[in-house]
Structure 1
Amino acid sequence: MRGALLPLLLLALPAMAQDLAGPRPLVVVDQPMLRLGDVFEGAGARAAQPIGAAPAPGRQMVIEAAQLLALARANGLAWRPLSAQERVVVERPGRPLAREEVTAALKAELLRYGLDPEAELELGPVALPMIPPEAAPRLVVDSASLDAPTGRFAGLLSIGAEGMPMQRLRIGGRAVPTLPVVVATRRLSLGEIVGPGDVRLARQRAERVRPGAADRLDQVVGQQLHRPVGAEMGFQRSDLAPPALVERNALVTMQVEAPGLSLTAQGRALEAAGRGALVPVMNLASRTVVEAQVTGPGRVRVAMGAAPLRREAE
């Protein structure tokens, strides 16, 4: 009996020597090389064995049952597929290469060809690759050219990062002139006086800047709004004025001055106005409306001998 079992035991020895293993249905790798242990659990001492290239960052690959069986046999793993539908999906995380990263590298190169440092670069259609999430891209621009009259540019972009092969792309686009504009940092309401924290200086494409737009902070700060302004919106100089020191229908002190003479009277401002502005004021005693200049909060000055504008009815 023992002699009959010996040949069977000898036949079983190769299978016993194999490592028992099973494929992982979903694999996430962060290295450019795929290893046996990434695909099979229980790969034992062969787990670190390279078996091929991993997918490119942001991509995936599928290892079908037949390929898995071939890998298992080649590496001494005791595994057979239960069905032809068994597979392993291998994913590799990635992030899109940002267009801002590309334009920054382009601008640094195109400055050598006379690019306006304040110009905005508009890339043409281009499919930028994915790169490893934590990797810093290495971007090199070669064969750059710039047509100053049209702003058209072109170049050859080399893209590399740790854990991915170098890629080369032909890129092009247009350099767009920009202008300084003052924009609101928050929504501002009609009548608000603009403070230093309410505005910032930005640059916008020249083709989008309206004539009369404020382009300096001192044109806006301390001024009163004649219309609401939304956050990140620009200011038109025509919509700004010095803060009103006299409000519409407010009581004011009218001062009449002449050499050796100074008189005061009570009046009512018929319009709102800022310092130095002219405003119609009705004398409460005579109901006569005269033009006066705003000199301070609630105070106006009337020129001696100023002709009445009209007389208000009782």
Structure 2
Amino acid sequence: MKKMTFTLTFLIAMSANIAAAVAGLVTLKPSIAVQNEQITFGDVFEGAEEKADYVIAPAPAPGKKVVFKASSLAYVARKHGLDWRPSRAISRIVVKRAGVRIPQQRILEEIRFALEDELQTGQFELSLSTQHPNIQVSTDEEQSISVASLSYSKRGNNFVAVLIAPATGPNARQYKLTGRIHRQLEIPVANRLIQPGEKITEQDLEFVLVRASKVARNTLTDPMDIVGKSPRRTLRPGHQLSVNNLGDPVTVAKGKLVTVIFKSRGIRLAVTGRALEPGAEGDIIRVENIASRKTIQAQIINAEEVHIISAGQRLANLN
């Protein structure tokens, strides 16, 4: 009797194993990640065997994921001879696709090349509406990107770029990015610290690109308007040069002793004076006669000499 019972149990177990094999019993993989363009039973299940290459659905874009209902996946599996029934704890199946992100710098470079060709200038900055664009390619694809099309609005300085990644190959995917163009001006700036009274030379200047919206109205853009001038206040490297802060170089500093010359009808007299204010060559400044302490209006001729210009400044003012 015991022998018969054992035999019956063995036969029942064998029948169950055969039924399971016929039905294609499979188990769900704990973590599902795909590399290719399609999702197969082999990507999802362990034990799919001859059904492993059967395509269930298109794969998501690189770096993205797709979610299936567990009940829907079970239906498709049973329909193709695979026995899998989800537990109550499983309601959704997440399938991820590995990807490699294209660096933002490379994206900006490609858009910039296209815009330079469109605008025929490189004097601009660009900014994207999306701060960190997420464009990815598959791990087995070339990490490249190119601009397929570009549209630009002069009125709003806006652009729309359609990019493809990878740049070549049958599986290139499109991505649309929008952004804004900021026009730039090339302006001269000081390349060193320049103190008031110093004469600015060409070697003291360099050119930089600055957003046009940040260039003040009184900023000088022609170096010919700057060279030979002198700052009224200290100039720092990289700062814009304005009309209000430039004048002729100081030839005579305040407090400097100079020779005061008086000329009239062949008479030439000279006394020592002290400059009461700074001035450049050709400027008229106030000078104090050291001997008489009287103030004289004189024109600066050079760093050492000033000439009285008014006939009303008589010889008595010098003595």
Instruction: Tell me whether the two structures share a fold, i.e. TM-score over 0.5.
Output: yes
Give the alignment partner of residue 208 of structure 2, picking from 187, 201, 207: 201
Q: Which is worse superposed, 216-225 or 121-130?
A: 121-130
The superposition leaves residues 197-221 of structure 1 with CA deviations (integer Å, 9 ceiling, x where unpaired) of 774232644x775544311345446
Residues in 2 aligned to 1:168 and 1:159: alpha-carbon distance in whole angstroms: 5
Give the alignment partner of residue 67 of structure 2, picking from 50, 53, 62: 62
Residues in 1 aligned to 2:272 and 2:293: alpha-carbon distance in whole angstroms: 12
Larger radius of gyration: 2
Q: Percent identity, aligned pairs only?
A: 19
Matched, 1:138 2:141: no
Are the structure 2 counterparts of residues 15 and 215 from structure 1 closer, same or farther at C-alpha, using a change threshold of 3 Å? farther
The superposition leaves residues 45-85 of structure 1 with CA deviations (integer Å, 9 ceiling, x where unpaired) of 89998654443467544344445656877696978445145
TM-score, length-scaled by structure 2? 0.58
Residues in 2 aligned to 1:185 and 1:277: alpha-carbon distance in whole angstroms: 28
The superposition leaves residues 176-216 of structure 1 with CA deviations (integer Å, 9 ceiling, x where unpaired) of 98654335679x798496785774232644x7755443113
Residues in 1 aligned to 2:10 and 2:31: alpha-carbon distance in whole angstroms: 36
Asked if the contact 1:21/1:43 (under 8 Å) is kept, the reply is: no
Matched, 1:286 2:292: yes
Are the structure 2 counterparts of residues 255 and 9 from structure 1 closer, same or farther at C-alpha, using a change threshold of 3 Å? farther
Residues in 2 aligned to 1:261 and 1:210: alpha-carbon distance in whole angstroms: 50
Residues in 2 aligned to 1:47 and 1:287: alpha-carbon distance in whole angstroms: 110
Matched, 1:102 2:106: no
What's the CA shift for 1:160? 1.5
Residues in 1 aligned to 2:224 and 2:42: alpha-carbon distance in whole angstroms: 63
**Which residue is equivalent to 1:254?**
259
**Which residue is equivalent to 1:22?**
29
Residues in 1 aligned to 2:20 and 2:85: alpha-carbon distance in whole angstroms: 10
Residues in 1 aligned to 2:174 and 2:313: alpha-carbon distance in whole angstroms: 82
Q: Secondary structure at the match of 2:288?
A: strand
5+ residue gaps in structure 2? 1-5, 315-319
What's the CA shift for 1:236? 1.8
Q: How does 1:170-185 map to 2 (within 5 A)?
A: 179-183=185-189
Q: How does 1:31-46 map to 2 (within 5 A)?
A: 33=37
Amino acid at match of 2:302: T
Amino acid at match of 1:11: A
Asked if the contact 1:36/1:47 (under 8 Å) is kept, the reply is: yes
Give the alignment partner of residue 265 of structure 1, picking from 255, 268, 272: 272
Asked if the contact 2:129/2:177 (under 8 Å) is kept, the reply is: no
Asked if the contact 2:187/2:222 (under 8 Å) is kept, the reply is: yes
Residues in 2 aligned to 1:184 and 1:70: alpha-carbon distance in whole angstroms: 75
The superposition leaves residues 259-302 of structure 1 with CA deviations (integer Å, 9 ceiling, x where unpaired) of 796745141x3223344543322223222222231623xx3422
Matched, 1:12 2:21: no
Q: Which is worse superposed, 81-90 or 46-55?
A: 46-55
Are the structure 2 counterparts of residues 212 and 5 from structure 1 closer, same or farther at C-alpha, using a change threshold of 3 Å? same
**Which residue is equivalent to 1:295?**
302
**Which residue is equivalent to 2:317?**
none
Residues in 2 aligned to 1:90 and 1:168: alpha-carbon distance in whole angstroms: 20
Asked if the contact 1:43/1:77 (under 8 Å) is kept, the reply is: no
Q: How does 1:143-154 map to 2 (within 5 A)?
A: none
**Which residue is equivalent to 1:213?**
219
What's the CA shift for 1:247? 3.5
Are the structure 2 counterparts of residues 177 and 132 from structure 1 closer, same or farther at C-alpha, using a change threshold of 3 Å? closer
Q: Secondary structure at the match of 2:302?
A: strand
Q: Secondary structure at the match of 1:23?
A: coil
Asked if the contact 2:74/2:85 (under 8 Å) is kept, the reply is: yes
**Which residue is equivalent to 1:160?**
164
Asked if the contact 2:260/2:307 (under 8 Å) is kept, the reply is: yes
TM-score, length-scaled by structure 1? 0.59
